[in-house]
Amino acid sequence: MSFLVKDKNFYKVLFSITLPIAAQNFITFTVSLADSLMLGKVGEIALSGANLANQLFFILMIVTFGVTSAAMVFSSQYWGKDDVYSMKRVITIMLRIAAVISVVAASLAICIPETVMSWYSDDPEVIKAGANYLRIIGWAYPFYSITNAMASVLRSAHIVKISIVIYLSSLIVNVSLNWILIFGNLGAPEMGIEGAALATAAARFTEFIILIIYLTFFEKKVHYTVKDFFVPVKSYVSAFIKTGAPVILNEAVWSIGTSALSMIIGHISTEFVSANSIANIIWQCVWVVIAGMGNATSVVIGNSIGRGESKEVILNKAKTVVLLSACMGVISAVTLIIIRGPVINFYEVSAETKALAYDLIVSYALIIVLQAMSMQYVVGIFRGGGDTKVAAVVDVLFLWTVAIPLGAFTGLVLGWAPPFVYLMLRSDELLKNIIGFIRLRSGKWIKDITVHPNEETA
């Protein structure tokens, strides 16, 4: 394989970014796992209610990720050019957009939670439980968006360790308060699903405070301050919109599509919702490294373009990453099969739900190899290369034209078994890989998208 990168520094940089991001993702996953396990002990109504209520947060999380990814397309290339001034202006645009989006999501959660829940379930008890959860957790959405966006974009400058500190602290706060508030320990009232929401909200606020302290007293590379949030950025807006809008739209449409998959599952059966919630938690356990590499690839490719490296060098880096991700996908699939039994047995749910989750994991394992490679194409390579429009088309076209229609038809009309319905719901991954491979080989995705307006007029 002549395309394999021989430069050891490439792997050193790639994994020095990948592993801290993976650690952050694992900590975030552990929070979700703790919530799921503890609510599973409360009952399937609480578990399903929180799972479906978090679909709104999922949309917020993905759209925030889109805004951050749009900013990282620029910030990675600016960092490669040592243009911190322009990088900070892009961060300002990103934070302003993230703040607006999070306030909109918070308003939905706080003001019309029953309506939001009715999108995902017909079960009155699940709707009531989820609405109670949303009314509390909605207040934490702005803190989450600002913290996550800022911590993520700092990766462009290879600042990754602070994310571990932020999310490890969040884990400790969340799990501790879960144990106290869900079950009424240490003299606290037994709040059930509302206790889980309150614990998560407190954890999000903790994340935000730690980030502010870090930026104010410790961050020495980018030097982003509160003052920078209010500087003029007009000269950068048009370029950000041209390249960044496809990324934001991509994640918004993709998240709504993925949420539509949850709607389909929710209208098939409550057991399917619970089983899928459990299966998804197990999937996240192995996905953290793959996702970390996707984000790291975006930074590495963007930095390479910013430094002006040759097309051949950048192509070889991209091909090497795709091969690495395929290997990681295979390892992840095997791991899913191995760990499914022990993890499922932690849950206090019906035997039917456990059996369904056990079978669903096989479907998850079959898909994860394709997901690992498509993650690199869309998030890592094409976005990092500035090819955001093609990345958006690849990511959402087949989801809406193939996966959602097939999932709805096989699940709601034909009544297929959930494991087979899930395969249909993820059938777009194969097509994404085919188009991604063709686009990768063309090299047309390598684009320098940075702008350098006069500082006085910025």
pLDDT per position as a tens digit, 224-266: 998 999 999 999 999 999 988 898 888 888 878 887 888 888 8
Q: What is the mean pLDDT of residues 345-372?
A: 89
Amino acid (1-letter code) at residue 270? T
- Among 293-307, 314-328, 338-352, 444-458, the least confident range: 444-458
Under a CB-based contact definition with an 8 Å cutoff, are residues 431 and 369 in contact? Answer: no
Q: What is the mean pLDDT of residues 313-333?
A: 95
pLDDT at 457: 45
Mention every residue, 6+ apart, whose C-beta is less than 8 A from residue 178: 34, 35, 38, 195, 196, 199
Distance CA 12, CA 5 (A): 12
Distance CA 330, CA 343 (A): 20
Q: How many CA atoms lie within 13 A of 343 on its CB side?
A: 24
Under a CB-based contact definition with an 8 Å cutoff, are residues 168 and 27 in contact? Answer: yes
- Among 25-29, 254-258, 434-438, the least confident range: 25-29
Name, of 39-43, 47-51, 62-66, 225-229, the range with top average pLDDT.
225-229
Distance CA 290, CA 296 (A): 10
Candidates 209, 90, 84, 89; CA nearest to 146 is 209
pLDDT at 454: 56
Mean pLDDT of the chain: 90
Mention every residue, 6+ apart, whose C-beta is less than 8 A from residue 154: 160, 162, 163, 219, 222
For residue 202, pLDDT over 60 is answered with yes
For residue 278, pLDDT over 90 is answered with no
Candidates 390, 388, 367; CA nearest to 439 is 390
Q: What is the mean pLDDT of residues 273-282?
A: 84
Q: Report the share of the chain in percent with pLDDT over 90.
A: 59
Distances (CA, A) of 355 to 263, 266, 274, 416: 22, 18, 11, 16
302: its two tokens: 């963007």
pLDDT higher for 95 or 33? 95
Confidence at 458, pLDDT banded by 50, 70, 90: very low
Under a CB-based contact definition with an 8 Å cutoff, are residues 320 and 5 in contact? Answer: yes
pTM recorded for the entire structure: 0.80
pLDDT higher for 269 or 173? 173
pLDDT at 166: 93
pLDDT at 267: 82
Candidates 40, 54, 32; CA nearest to 346 is 40
Q: What value, to the nearest 5°, has the Cα angle with vertex 86 and ends 83 and 89?
A: 150
358: its two tokens: 């056990």
For residue 343, pLDDT over 90 is answered with no
344: its two tokens: 């499922």
Distance CA 236, CA 318 (A): 28
The span from the first CA to the last CA of the chain, in angstroms, equals 47
pLDDT at 36: 73
pLDDT at 27: 82
Long-range contacts of the stretch 1-7 (C-beta < 8 A, 24+): 1/323, 3/315, 3/316, 3/319, 3/320, 4/316, 4/319, 4/320, 4/323, 5/316, 5/317, 5/320
- Among 5-9, 30-34, 276-280, the least confident range: 30-34
Candidates 97, 90, 95, 96; CA nearest to 73 is 90
